[in-house]
Amino acid sequence: AQTVTQSQPEMSVQEAETVTLSCTYDTSESDYYLFWYKQPPSRQMILVIRQEAYKQQNATENRFSVNFQKAAKSFSLKISDSQLGDAAMYFCAYGGSQGNLIFGKGTKLSVKP
Amino acid sequence: EPEVTQTPSHQVTQMGQEVILRCVPISNHLYFYWYRQILGQKVEFLVSFYNNEISEKSEIFDDQFSVERPDGSNFTLKIRSTKLEDSAMYFCASSEWRTNTGELFFGEGSRLTVL
């Protein structure tokens, strides 16, 4: 069975600085997708970035980028130039053949002004 | 921008009571899901629904749970006889395609407290 592990329950970053959130996963599948979702306080989860496993190039969305290491089964999220609005829970998720997402426990990110 | 909406935002119920959580998915989406998150734990998949029937369900989704799309717009999760361990945040989601390829759109969640 696939698993997703986020080893950092909480992280903190200074405004305008860069922070990296870690995620590892376990799977025997070769074709899958990985996602980072953001959940601001009292708001719904929204997709931040998506990576297709067969693509070697790391996905990038503006200030958000990933470091996808397929062999190591690692999928970290880098947030550059952190803003106060980036404060949220961040969930790493795996989407494989089973058709539903498997989530990690989440990392709570605080941004200090 | 279209949103997934959920009601109620918070429900408190007595153990053994029936609860219905309601969701309005985004109108052109075809796949619907329920996930739950017990406080401090992972977001867990419960069930997916496509073409008016359950397409996948987890081991959590036992006979106490059921889903329905009664009128073409609402998507409901019913818990027949609630237990203390059903206390959690329940998230509805919808997508145009199967989640492993497409983006999931989540509602804000319904917090269920079972006393």
The confidence band for B34, taking pLDDT boundaries of 50, 70 and 90, is: very high
Which chain B residues contact residue A101 at CB under 8 A?
35, 45, 99-100, 104
pLDDT of residue B41: 84
The partner residue sitting opposite A33, judged by closest CB among B42, B56, B100, is B100
Cα of A48 to nearest chain B Cα, Å: 10
Which chain A residues contact residue B44 at CB under 8 A?
103
**Chain centroid to CA A63: how far?**
13
User: What's the rounded Cα separation, in Å, for the pair A24 and A41?
Assistant: 24
pLDDT of residue B45: 93
Verify whether the Cβ–Cβ distance A100 to B45 is below 8 Å.
yes
pLDDT of residue A28: 93
pLDDT of residue B97: 81
B51-105: pLDDT as tens digits: 889 999 999 999 999 999 988 789 999 999 999 999 999 999 999 887 677 688 9
Verify whether the Cβ–Cβ distance A101 to B45 is below 8 Å.
yes
State chain A's mean pLDDT as an integer: 94
Verify whether the Cβ–Cβ distance A44 to B107 is below 8 Å.
yes
pLDDT of residue B102: 67
Verify whether the Cβ–Cβ distance B99 to A46 is below 8 Å.
no
B40-49: pLDDT as tens digits: 888 999 999 9
A36-80: pLDDT as tens digits: 999 988 778 899 999 999 998 999 999 999 999 999 999 999 999
Contacts of B105 (CB under 8 A, 6+ apart): A44, B2, B3, B4, B25, B26, B29, B93, B94, B95
